[in-house]
Chain A
Amino acid sequence: MQVESKSRSDLAGTVTAVVFILMACLALWDTTSMTDSDSYVFPRAIAAAMIVFCILLIAYNFIKRPADEAAGGTGSASTPRRVGLVAAMLGASLVMPWVGFLLSGFCAFGAIMLFAMYDPWTGRRRIVFPVAGLAIVLGFYTLFSKVLLVPLPVGVWFR
C-alpha cells in the first residue's frame, strides 16, 4: 500500500502551485499601479517569494514524485451534500440583504438540516428537529440583535 502511494505524483500540489504562481503574478502586476514604495515593497517581496517557493515545489514534485498525503478520493463521502452545504450558506448570505437575516437563517438552517440528515425521518424527528431549528435560530437572533445589539439585516422586503 505504501509503495503504491509513494509512486503517486503530487499532481494536485503541482497544479495548485501553478495557480499560486498566477496569483502572485497578478499581485505583482497590481503593485505596478502603486506609487508609494511603502505600499508595494512588502507585497512584491511576498509575491516574489511565493513564486520561488512554488517553482521549487513544482521542481521537487518532478524530481522526487512524492506521495500526496492529503489528497485522496472522496470514497463513500457524498459530494452533493458537500456542495449543498456550501450552496445553502452562500445562498443565504447573498439573499440576506433582501429577505433579512432571520428568514435567510431559517432557510439555510432547514436546507443544511436536510443535507446533514442520515437517520430516517421518523414522525418524532419530523416535529422535533424543525422545532429545535426554529428555536436555535430564534434564540441566536434574539441574543445578537436584542442583547448584543448587533444590527442584523431586516431585509428590504420587510421594511
Chain B
Amino acid sequence: MTGLDYLWQALTPLNVLLALAGVVAGTVIGSLPGLTATMAVAVLVPITFSMEPASALILMGAIYTGAIYGGAYAAILLNTPGTPSAIATTFDGYPMAKRGDGDLAITLACVSSVVGGLIGAAFLLGLAPPLAEVALAFGPVEYFWLAVFGLTLISALSEGNLLKGLIGACFGLLLACIGVAEISADIRFTFGSQVLLGGIETVSALIGLYCIPVMIDLVATPDRHLKVTQQPRGFRLKEALAISWLGKFNLIRSSVIGTLVGILPGAGGSIAGLVAYSEARRSSKRSAFFGKGEPEGVQATESANNATVGGGFIPTLVLGIPGTPPDAVILGALLIQGVRTGPSLFTENGAIVYTFIYGLILATVLMLPAGLVIGRYAYKSIITVPKAILVPTVAFMTMIGTYAIRNSISDVVIMIVLGVVGWFLNRFGFSPSPIVLGLILGRIAEQGFVQAWTIGAATEDLTGMFFGRPISLVIILFTLISLFYPLIRKHWATTGGTANAG
C-alpha cells in the first residue's frame, strides 16, 4: 500500500466523523479546569474497544489533540489553565482577554494549535524511528538539566523582581516535596497530617494559584470580568492569520520544540509550552511586551503543546514507551486491542499506523473550524453571562474539577487554601508563575538529580555524570544563554547605541 492508500483509508466517512467527534469532545473536556487531556482520553477509551484499531487510534488521537487545545479557553478567558499544557498560555492570553482581545487570542490559539499539531504529526509521519532514539538518549541527568532549563524561565516571569521570583520558585519546589518521596519513599513535610500524605496535586495547585485569585478580585468589584467592545468582530481569523504569518518562525520553532519535548517520556505539554515560551521571549524583538498580552507568547505555547501530541506518539509507537501521560492510556488501549507497539509496528502493521497518522492530521485540520466555533461560543458566554452567574459557575467548576482528579476533598481544600495564599503573595509582588514552575519542575528535577547522583557516586564520576554528557552540555549551554541573554542583549544595545552615537 502507498501513502495515498492510507490517506484514503483515513478519510472514510466513519473516520472523519470519529475525528470530528473526538476533537469536539476533547476540546470541551479540555476547556473545563481540572479535566486534563489524560482524563479526556481515559474516560472515552472504553468506547474504542469495539472499533477497528486504526479508527480507535484516530478517535483517541483526536480527543487528545482537542483536549490540549481546549485548555487554552480557560487559560485565556479565566486565567486558569484548563490543562497543565496551557500554563504558559495564561501569561499573555489572559492579559489579551483583559484588554478586549480575548476573541483574537482564542483564534490565534486555534491557528497555532493547528500548525503545531500538523508539524508534530509530520515529524511522526516522516522521522518517527530515528527520533525515537532521542528518547533513549535522555537519562536522569538530562531530565535534571531540562528541569533546570525550565526553571530559568523564572528570570523572564519575574520581571523587575528576580529575587521574589526565585523565592516563589523555591516555595513551589518545597511544595513539590510534600508527601511520599518518589525515590526513597520517605514521608516529607506532612507534619503528621493525613491530608498532605498524597502531596500537592499539580493541577489542583494550578487551579488554586491561577483561578482563585482572579475570582477573589472579581467578586470584590462590580466591574466586568473582561473588557468588551461594542461592535461584533467575528472570529478575527484574518487578523490571527496575519499575526501567524508574521510570527511564522516563532510558530515553527515552537512546534519543533514541542515535538522534541513530546518525544521525551514524562516531559509533557506543560514543559514544552514553558520552554517554547522562554525561547520565543528570548528571541523576540518584542520581548518587553511578553507577559503583558503579546500574541507571540500565545503562539509559542499553543503551537508547542499541540506539537507534543505527534511528538509523544513517536516513542509510544516505535519503542512502546509513552511520551506523555495520555500516550500511556492510548498505549494501554492498543495493547487491549492486540496491537503490539515497537520498531516492527511501522512495517508489520503499516496500515494501522499510517492510517492513524493521516487520521491525526485530519483531526488537527478539523480542529480549525471546530475550535473556532467552540471558542467563539466560549468567549461570548464569558463576556455576556452576568457576574452573579459567572463567578459561582467558575467556583463550582474549580471545585468539581479539582475533586475529580483524585476523588479527594482534601485536594479541593488545598486548592482553595493555595488560592488564598497565591492572592496574598500576588499582592505582595510574588507572582504565581514561578511557584507553579517550581511545583511542576521540582519532581522532575529531584528525581533526575538523585538518580544521576546515585549513578555518578556508584561509578565514582560525579563530574562526568553531570557535566560530561553531550546532551547535558547542550542543555547547560541553552540554560546559560537563556539566563544571561537579557544581559548580553542589553550590553549589545548599549555598546551599539554608543557606537551609533559616536
> Could you tell me which A residues sit within 8 Å of B by CB distance?
10, 12-13, 15-17, 20, 23-24, 27, 30-31, 34-36, 38-43, 46-47, 49-50, 53-54, 56-57, 60, 68-72, 74, 76-79, 81-82, 84-86, 88-90, 92-94, 96-97, 101, 105, 108-110, 112-113, 115-119, 125, 129, 132-133, 136-137, 140-141, 144, 148-153
Chain B minimum-CB-distance residue to A137: B396
Residue contact B170 to A85, C-beta cutoff 8 Å = no
Residue contact B453 to A41, C-beta cutoff 8 Å = yes
Residue contact B403 to A101, C-beta cutoff 8 Å = yes
* Residue from the list A13, A53, A113 in contact with B428, Cβ < 8 A: A13
Which among B400, B417, B430, B453 has the greatest number of chain A C-beta atoms within 10 A?
A: B400
List the one stretch of B3-11, B305-313, B366-374, B384-392 in contact with chain A. Answer: B384-392
Residue contact A57 to B164, C-beta cutoff 8 Å = yes
Residue contact A85 to B186, C-beta cutoff 8 Å = no
- B residues in contact with A97, CB < 8 Å: 409
> Could you tell me which B residues sit within 8 Å of A by CB distance?
35, 39, 43, 160-161, 163-164, 166-167, 170-171, 173-174, 177, 181, 183-184, 186, 188-189, 191, 212, 215-222, 386-393, 395-397, 399-400, 403-404, 407, 409, 412-413, 416-417, 419-420, 425-430, 442, 445-446, 449-450, 453-454
Q: A24-B174, A27-B174, A71-B427 are in contact. Are A93 and B221 (CB under 8 A)?
A: no
Residue contact A90 to B416, C-beta cutoff 8 Å = yes
Could you tell me the distance between the alpha carbons of A86 and B398 in the complex, rounded to whole angstroms?
13
Closest CB pairs A-B (n = 5):
A50-B170, A39-B186, A118-B222, A77-B220, A116-B391
Which among A23, A69, A116, A151 has the greatest number of chain B C-beta atoms within 10 A?
A: A116
Could you tell me the distance between the alpha carbons of A54 and B386 in the complex, rounded to whole angstroms?
42
* Residue from the list A30, A39, A119 in contact with B388, Cβ < 8 A: A119
- A residues in contact with B425, CB < 8 Å: 16
- B residues in contact with A10, CB < 8 Å: 429
Residue contact B413 to A38, C-beta cutoff 8 Å = no
Which among A41, A76, A77, A149 has the greatest number of chain B C-beta atoms within 10 A?
A: A77
Could you tell me the distance between the alpha carbons of A39 and B428 in the complex, rounded to whole angstroms?
32
- A residues in contact with B161, CB < 8 Å: 69
Residue contact B186 to A115, C-beta cutoff 8 Å = no
- A residues in contact with B400, CB < 8 Å: 101, 105, 140-141, 144, 150, 152
17 of the cross-chain contacts (CB-CB < 8 Å) are A17-B167, A38-B454, A43-B189, A46-B170, A68-B429, A71-B428, A78-B219, A82-B219, A85-B395, A93-B412, A94-B413, A109-B393, A113-B392, A117-B388, A118-B387, A140-B397, A140-B400
